[in-house]
Structure formats: C-alpha cells, structure tokens
Chains A and B, each alone.
Chain A
Amino acid sequence: MTLRGTVLAALAAMIAAGVGAAAAGAASDPGVRLTAAFPRDARLGAETPVAVGLKIAPRHLPAPVEELRLRFPDTLGIATSGLGAATCSRPAADFEKVMIAAVRLAGCSPNAVMGRGTARAEVRLGGHDRASSLVIPELANVTMLAAPFRADRFGLLFLANGQRPFGVTLAFAGEIGPAPRPFGGSLVMRVPPVPNQFDAVVALTQIAFEIGARDIRYRRGSGARASWYRPEGIVLPRRCPRAGFRFELELRLADGRRPRASAVAPCPRPATG
C-alpha cells in the first residue's frame, strides 16, 4: 500500500470509529458511565446472570441521584426467568425513613432475591454543598428482591447493607415497568433523600449488581425436607439482536437534571449441540 493509501485507510478507520462512538453514546452524559455484560461462559439460548454497573462522577454531577431507570433489551427474558419465586413487602414507612433497623435480608425470604452487588456512596456531613461538607465514602452490599406486583408493574425492593464506616441498612423501593421500544422494560430504583435529622446527604456514586447472580439459592420445601436450588437466571434469546444487547440508563438528580448513558453488552456465543 502506498503512503497515500495508508493515510486514507487510517483516516477512514478514524472516521468510522468516531461515528460508531458517537452513535453508541449519542445521549450520554460525560458524568455517568454505564456498563453491561454477560459472563464469558454465557451462551445464546441459555440462562445467565447479567452484570450492570453505573459510575457517577460527583464533580460533574454533584446533586444526589433520586431515581435510577435502567431500560433493558426487549429480548432479555427477565419475566421468563425463575427469579422472584417469592415476594417481600416492607411497610411504606420504611421507604420514607430510608434507614431501617434490620440486617441482611430484613426478614425477607431468600426466594425473593433477584440480584446482588455493591454500591458506593458519598455521605456528605454538614449540608448539601459538596465543597463545604465533610465527604465520607461508604461501601454497601446491595440486594435486589422481588416485591408484590402492583398496578401492572413487578415490584422491587433494594436493600443496601452499609459495610463501613456507618454500617446502616437502607431500603429503597423500585419496580420493573414498561419502556418505549426497542426496550422490553425498565428497572427503576427510587432513592429518596435520607431524612435530614442527621444533617447528612447520601449521594450514590457507584453501583454494580448482577441480576440472577450464580450464588443465589432458593429454598424448596420446609423443615427437615428443605433443599436448596439455584433459580434459573435471565434467559437469552437463541439469536443475537442486531448490534448486541442495548441498555440505557436515565438518572433523575435532586437538581432536576436527567443525565443518560447507554451500554451495549456484546453477544455471547451460540449454544453448542
């Protein structure tokens, strides 16, 4: 290839890469990053966990998140999975006071667990202004549980068990509801402000969870005859959707902004045999 040909090919590749990146993140906000992936051994047509990750840059988006809405692909079988064999309901007051006096699953059945992960938040002591408050990072384990079905929506309950330094348990309500095409539904998590009696603001900065995580176990039967089994995870279609499995995240922040981010989970390999 001549020098001119090489330069032209490089230019074409750069333009193509730029167009692709622009298309993938057309509405993305630089302060939010979304990732979505299946495990390496996932296969089309089989069940699998789905890992979703969100990172917020508090310098770009200092206002706390009040709602997280994750739109997932139409072909992803969440309702056709075996997840949510039981439901867990908490009193509405729990979602108003956010902090609850409970540990681990807060009395919910293990058969309601749909996903697990971790979250990182900034606890801002001394006010809303990030610059003038004392910022303490808090790490928590997050469990996503099935809650009762209400008004054509699958209910969800998120429990965040703080690890250090505060170690409190927070309860958030959520749901799986409809979403516009090409999405099959939206997973919503509502994060109301922690009541201000503590003069603290909790701002979510990072969350990563696996829906249908492989370490989830459900109990079958009761008493001495009880046994444990792994529920069927998210069912993948037998064919890959065009351009992979597209996810979109929309946040609602306390200042009214609605930043977005999108991610495409690459297609797993087809099942053999």
Chain B
Amino acid sequence: MTGHLAVRRATAWTACIAAVVSLLTVAAGSATAAPVAQASRTINVTERASLHLVKKSGSTIYQAGTATGTLPGTVTTRFKVTTKVTGSLKIVTRGGTLTMSVNGRPRSMGTTARFGGTMRVTGGTGRYARARGTARFEGVVNRRTWAATVTARGRLTY
C-alpha cells in the first residue's frame, strides 16, 4: 500500500514538474515571439541599372544585370514591349529582395530607343519584407544588342 502511494506521489510530482516546465517554455517562447514595434524607415532611392539580354520570346524580353546606387545588387527583369512597356523587376541586395511592377512606354524608335514610366514595389524579402514605394524611371536600350541602362528615382518605405 505504502509502495503504491509512493509511486502515485512520484507520478504526480513528475506530472507537476512537466507541467511547470512546459508552461515556462511556452511563456519564454511567447516572450521571444511577441511583436516588437519597429519604426519604418523612408528613404529616397536613386538607382542605375545596366542590363543585358537573357532571352526574347515574342513581345517579351528578359534581361539581367547589376544595380548601383542606394540599393546595390543584381537585377532581373521581364518586360512585355508592345506600344507599352509592362512587366516586373527584381533587385537582390545584401539586405533582401525587392520586387516591382513596371508600367511605361517607349519614347522613341531607332537603334537607340528611349523608354520611361513608373514602377511600384509589389513585394520583398528580408529587410524589405514589408516595403512599399514608387519610382519613376527612364531608360535607353540598344535595339541591336538589347543592352539597356535604366535610371530610377523614388521613395521606399521599409
């Protein structure tokens, strides 16, 4: 009988200790996961991208290159070129990635053609996971090699 009681007491203590430990763990976990308010930051951005042709498919042109300026990194683009220039652009920086939608128009013909328009942040990762912002861009493309340089100026909040 005494043996049975001892076993039952030991089991109860073990259960208690386990419950306390698990409670403490949950409390500690929730303490680290609690949202910490971070002040968002808004900066003026000036970027210059040098792009080269990756491939063309019909009216869609794929380019890649490097960006220098406020957010240096690598750039990949996908533009549909008709009487408008629409598409998306992704910049991979050390702090994270930024994805933008592009809406513009060609502005001239010839071997060296100009284009311009606006771009808007549609997503991001890392430091730019909650980024938002818009920019205006101007570019020049060589229609023989499809190498392009694009300059963008805008504001970014992240």
Q: Is the CB of A86 closer than 8 A to any CB of chain B?
A: yes
Q: Is the CB of B60 closer than 8 A to any CB of chain A?
A: yes
Assess the A87–B109 pair: CB atoms within 8 A: yes
- Given A85-B144, A152-B83, A154-B83, decide whether A80 and B111 contact each other with a Cβ distance below 8 A: no
Cα(A208)–Cα(B144), bound, Å: 27
Assess the B110–A74 pair: CB atoms within 8 A: no
Of the stretches A51-59, A91-99, A177-185, the one at the interface is A177-185
Give the residues from 66 to 112 in chain B that come closer than 8 angstroms, CB to CB, to chain A.
81-84, 105-111
Assess the A177–B107 pair: CB atoms within 8 A: no
In-complex Cβ contact of A79 among B57, B82, B107 (8 A): B82
Assess the A75–B108 pair: CB atoms within 8 A: no
Count of A-B residue pairs with CB < 8 Å = 78
Q: From DSSP, what is the main secondary structure of chain B's interface residues?
A: loop
Chain B residues with CB under 8 A of A235: 56-59
Chain B residues with CB under 8 A of A154: 83, 106, 109
In-complex Cβ contact of A80 among B81, B83, B105 (8 A): B81
Assess the A185–B83 pair: CB atoms within 8 A: yes
Assess the B110–A79 pair: CB atoms within 8 A: no
Q: Is the CB of B9 closer than 8 A to any CB of chain A?
A: no
Interface string of A154-165 (1 = CB under 8 A from B): 110000000000
Give the residues from 215 to 273 in chain A that come closer than 8 angstroms, CB to CB, to chain B.
235-239
> Looking across the interface, which residue of chain A has its beta carbon closest to that of B107?
A149
Q: Is the CB of A68 closer than 8 A to any CB of chain B?
A: no
- Given A85-B143, A152-B83, A176-B83, decide whether A146 and B109 contact each other with a Cβ distance below 8 A: yes
Give the residues from 42 to 59 in chain B that come closer than 8 angstroms, CB to CB, to chain A.
56-59
Assess the A82–B143 pair: CB atoms within 8 A: yes
Assess the B105–A74 pair: CB atoms within 8 A: no
Q: Is the CB of B150 closer than 8 A to any CB of chain A?
A: no
> Looking across the interface, which residue of chain B has its beta carbon closest to that of A81?
B143
Assess the A77–B58 pair: CB atoms within 8 A: yes
Assess the A85–B83 pair: CB atoms within 8 A: no
Q: Is the CB of A45 closer than 8 A to any CB of chain B?
A: yes
Q: Is the CB of B147 closer than 8 A to any CB of chain A?
A: no
The size bracket of the interface on A is: 20 to 34
Q: Is the CB of B156 closer than 8 A to any CB of chain A?
A: no
Q: Shortest beta-carbon distance, B40 to chain A, in Å? A: 36
Q: Is the CB of A65 closer than 8 A to any CB of chain B?
A: no
In-complex Cβ contact of B83 among A75, A86, A148, A177 (8 A): A177
Q: Is the CB of A78 closer than 8 A to any CB of chain B?
A: yes
Assess the B83–A77 pair: CB atoms within 8 A: no
Cα(A156)–Cα(B57), bound, Å: 24
Q: Is the CB of A115 closer than 8 A to any CB of chain B?
A: no
Q: Shortest beta-carbon distance, B55 to chain A, in Å? A: 9
Chain A residues with CB under 8 A of B84: 178
Assess the A80–B110 pair: CB atoms within 8 A: no
Chain B residues with CB under 8 A of A80: 56, 58-61, 81, 146
Chain B residues with CB under 8 A of A236: 58
Chain A residues with CB under 8 A of B109: 84, 87, 146, 148-149, 154-155
In-complex Cβ contact of B59 among A45, A149, A155, A184 (8 A): A184
Show 26 residue pairs from A and B whose CB-CB distance is below 8 angstroms, ordered by the A residue: A74-B82, A75-B59, A77-B56, A79-B82, A80-B56, A80-B61, A82-B144, A84-B109, A85-B111, A85-B144, A86-B111, A148-B109, A149-B108, A152-B83, A154-B106, A154-B109, A155-B109, A177-B83, A178-B83, A185-B82, A185-B83, A236-B58, A237-B57, A237-B58, A237-B60, A238-B58
Known: A82-B143, A237-B60. 8 other contacts (CB 8 A): A76-B58, A79-B82, A79-B106, A86-B110, A148-B108, A153-B83, A155-B109, A238-B58
10 A-B pairs with the lowest CB-CB distances in the bound complex, closest first: A237-B58, A75-B58, A79-B81, A184-B82, A85-B111, A77-B59, A238-B57, A77-B58, A178-B83, A149-B108
